[in-house]
Structure 1
C-alpha cells in the first residue's frame, strides 16, 4: 500500500540525502546543502508556494518525492510547453524521484506515478489533465510514465534541469478519467 503526506521541514535531511544520490542528482541537479533544501522546499512546506511536495511511503517507509502543481502557477514553464502542446487552463504537472538507489528498477516509479495520479484527481477536482516534460535521455522516467498510462504527445526543446544536458524533451499527457 502506498501512502502520501506533505513534506515538512523535518523531512529536509532525507531530501538532501536523496538529492545527493547519483541516480537523482543526474536528473534533478539540485544543491543538497541544508540552506539550499530549505530555500527550495521550505516555501512549499509552509504553504507559501503554490506547488505541493509530497512524500510517498510503502509500508511506512519513505521511498520517493512527488511535486505537483498547476502549470498556470509557473508562467515561465508554461511558456516553454505551449509551443509544443496544447495546455488547458487547469492542467497540472508532476515531478518525481525514487530516493534510495536500492528501490530503483523495481517498478516503484510506475507504481508511485499511478498512485500519485489517483490522489491528484481526488485532491484537485478541477484538474483537467496532467502534462509532464521529461528529458529525452531519461528513459527510466519516460518509460515509467508510459507504464503508468501517460501518452507521449510531443517532443521539442525545453531548458533542462541539468545544464550538462541538451534541450531535447518528450512531453507526456493523461486526461482526467471520465468514469
Structure 2
C-alpha cells in the first residue's frame, strides 16, 4: 500500500434517517454548501424536503456518506424516469436513454473540502449504484458552469462532459448555463489520469 492509499478513507453509506436531519441542516448552512444547494435550513424545511425519501415515500435515495466511519457528505440518487418534469428538462439538452439515473452530492464536513475526497466519494457511490440498480444504463449529472469544483470532481471521478445547455439553476443568483456529464454502466470508473487535478 502506498502512502497516498493509506490516506484515502473507506467510504460507506446508508439511507438518510430523520435523526440525521439536524446534521444535514448544519451542513446546508455552511457557506460552501449553501452557495450551490440554496436550501432552507430550518428543521421544518429539512424535514419537509428530506422526510419523504427518508421514510421511503419518494423514489429518490438520500444517502448519508461516511469516511472512515465519520459522517462526511450526502449523495442523492434517483431514476430520471421517476421525475418526468426533470427528465423532460434534461432531454431538451441531452439524449436521456431509458434507465438513466442522476446524482447530486455535497461534502458537509468543511474540514475535508478541497482534499480530493469528492471524486473518490462519487466513484464509490457510483460503484454502489451499479450494484443496487441493475437496470441503470447510465448516470447523467447537470452542473452549473460556474461550479468548477463540482464539475472537476465529476471529471476526476470518470464522468465525461457530453453537452452544454440552459437549465433552471438551484440558486437564483446563477445563470442557466450548465454542463452535463455522463458515465455509462460499461465505462471503467477511475480511468488512468482521472485523479489528476
Shift in Å, 1:81: 0.8
Q: For the residues of structure 2 that align with 1:21 and 1:8, how far apart are their CA atoms?
A: 20
Give the 3-state SS of the residue equivalent to 2:119 in structure 1: helix
The one of 138, 142, 147 equivalent to 2:147 is 138
Aligned twin of 1:171: 180
- Mapped contact 2:71–2:109 kept (Cα < 8 A): no
1:30-62 Cα distance to aligned partner (Å, 9 max, x none): 000000000010000000001000011111101
1:95-138 Cα distance to aligned partner (Å, 9 max, x none): 00000221110011101100010000000000000000000000
What stretches of structure 1 move > 4 A for 4+ residues in a row?
Answer: none
Shift in Å, 1:178: 6.6
Give the 3-state SS of the residue equivalent to 2:106 in structure 1: strand
Shift in Å, 1:79: 1.3
- Mapped contact 1:21–1:100 kept (Cα < 8 A): no
Aligned twin of 1:152: 161
Backbone CA RMSD of aligned residues: 1.0
Aligned twin of 1:75: 84
**Structure 1 portions without partners, runs of 5+:** none
Q: For the residues of structure 2 that align with 1:56 and 1:48, how far apart are their CA atoms?
A: 21
Residues matched between the structures, number: 179
Give the 3-state SS of the residue equivalent to 2:92 in structure 1: coil
The one of 88, 98, 105 equivalent to 2:107 is 98
1:53 aligns with 2:81: no
TM-score scaled to structure 2, two decimals?
Answer: 0.89
Q: For the residues of structure 1 that align with 2:22 and 2:122, how far apart are their CA atoms?
A: 23
Aligned twin of 2:19: 10
TM-score scaled to structure 1, two decimals?
Answer: 0.98
Shift in Å, 1:84: 1.2
Q: For the residues of structure 2 that align with 1:107 and 1:176, how far apart are their CA atoms?
A: 23
Shift in Å, 1:177: 2.1
Q: Which has the larger radius of gyration?
A: 2
**Structure 2 portions without partners, runs of 5+:** 1-9, 189-197
Q: For the residues of structure 2 that align with 1:110 and 1:178, how far apart are their CA atoms?
A: 16
